[in-house]
Structure 1
């Protein structure tokens, strides 16, 4: 007596093997090894899992639900690991054909990281991936309540609209981030080109990181630089995002120092790395200055 049949296309022998391994783990529920039996049918680019019950042994409704839940979990992991990337590729090709072929892997990787929570810290990222896989598994579990035959690819295409919508929304966010990154790179390149051909006006400017996102500019005597008309020399940057009018960057470019010495305990800050990119060999990290200079 067939309890359920689950079939899926696979792109490689490795994917087929991992799919089968996940279902072999269901044997842990089959303590007597006689209540049900799982067999596999592996064909070219397709794997079918057949779960059969022993007609002489009664399987309770609760036990069958638990078995289907574990089967849905196995399918969810399979989809997240082996199918999601291909679905994202198709969505990217359909909705964003203007993105160059050579740049698409960048967007796909951004999407994958967002889905799996890899932009968060280790704990929250792990939980985000668990939640994402659980949502996939839930869709298959709900379908298994009404049928004993599941085609994984067909179920995703015709019965899991919420999942596909999630992938599309995440892809949209990834494309936005990609475009912002490209604009940022182009902007930095423009400023770098401008600085490269600009004659130095002052010998040195010290960029002092006062803490948080607050900075000050000092001259070679470590005295505050007089503000340019309409500009200050300290900047408070929301979310540490670079904009064209950021006071620190625009003032540095206006002063055109021969050397920019950066004093900070956080050299990884975006604004710091940006200035180092723009000024190239002119920029260097200096020692942390004493509090009175702040």
Structure 2
């Protein structure tokens, strides 16, 4: 007995054909066999798939073999869509929604969008769970279609039956575009700050910086004179807002002072990982050095109980 169906796709289908031959072990162990024949029809790659199955047996009816075949085929097609179609769908969404992108921007957005689709934060187990759930939903839709039709055109199926999946792709592309756009603005902002620092005369030659508890900081010049009172108060008076954070004050003070060198003190010169500190590192870059050990650093470590 035989059952035949056809799969068509505008994307190369040879990987799907390989998967069809490598799977269906359960059916093969019960006397079934799978044949495939490739055809090219206009812009479509077509695959004629034939299932040969035995007549009614003791445990299984003929329709049981066909149903199991369609069920397993749905799983294979779902994996094929996620593995091969996903990148193509992201590219199509990019071309449709964000035209006029520079090649490097398009490449970066594509990479980020695919990363968002494949990863969930830094949790590998959660990412696998999300992927499994997405594949399961797609496989269920494919099976519903196969139970009613002997022809599966992947282009139309994805467009009309997987709209939830396409919404996920749209969200990933929008999120990637927003992130790339924000990074672009951020880099332009940092570039402007670097230009400002490099173009104005330095008020002090050197700023020594030590982070203290609760997000505070202490600064002194190359002669050991404290810079906290004079410049921090002056900075706060110039910024007419009560909503400014300590980190923002630190950035503003350093930009205003425009020192030729910034020496980091404390726990191996490490600073908290926040946006303001990242800006400082990017703006002053080669001007930042780390103290290898001084009296103030040792006093700080003693107070923290690290020595």
Q: What are structure 2's unaligned runs of at least 5 residues?
A: 238-243
Aligned position for 1:120: 122
Q: How does 1:73-92 map to 2 (within 5 A)?
A: 73-92=75-94
Aligned length in residues: 279
Aligned position for 1:29: 26
Larger helix proportion, structure 1 or 2? 2
The offset of 1:219, in angstroms, is 0.9
**1:225 aligned to 184, 206, 228, which one?**
228
Q: What are structure 1's unaligned runs of at least 5 residues?
A: 238-245
State the superposition RMSD in angstroms: 3.1
Q: How does 1:190-201 map to 2 (within 5 A)?
A: 190-201=192-203
TM-score normalised by L of structure 2 = 0.78
The offset of 1:186, in angstroms, is 0.8
Q: How does 1:1-294 map to 2 (within 5 A)?
A: 1-2=2-3, 4-11=5-12, 16=14, 18-35=15-32, 37-44=33-40, 46-54=45-53, 56-57=55-56, 59-60=60-61, 64-117=66-119, 119-210=121-212, 214-220=215-221, 221=224, 223=226, 225-226=228-229, 227-229=232-234, 231=236, 235=245, 246-263=248-265, 264-265=269-270, 270-287=275-292, 289=297, 290-291=300-301
**1:201 aligns to what SS in structure 2?**
coil
The offset of 1:291, in angstroms, is 4.2
TM-score normalised by L of structure 1 = 0.81
Encode CA deviations 1:170-196: one digit per residue, 9 max, x unaligned: 211111111111111111111111111
2:4–2:48 Cα contact (<8 Å) kept: no
Encode CA deviations 1:192-225: one digit per residue, 9 max, x unaligned: 111111221113223334478x251411438561
Question: Which has the greater radius of gyration?
Answer: 2
Encode CA deviations 1:128-172: one digit per residue, 9 max, x unaligned: 333333333232223223223212122112222222122112211
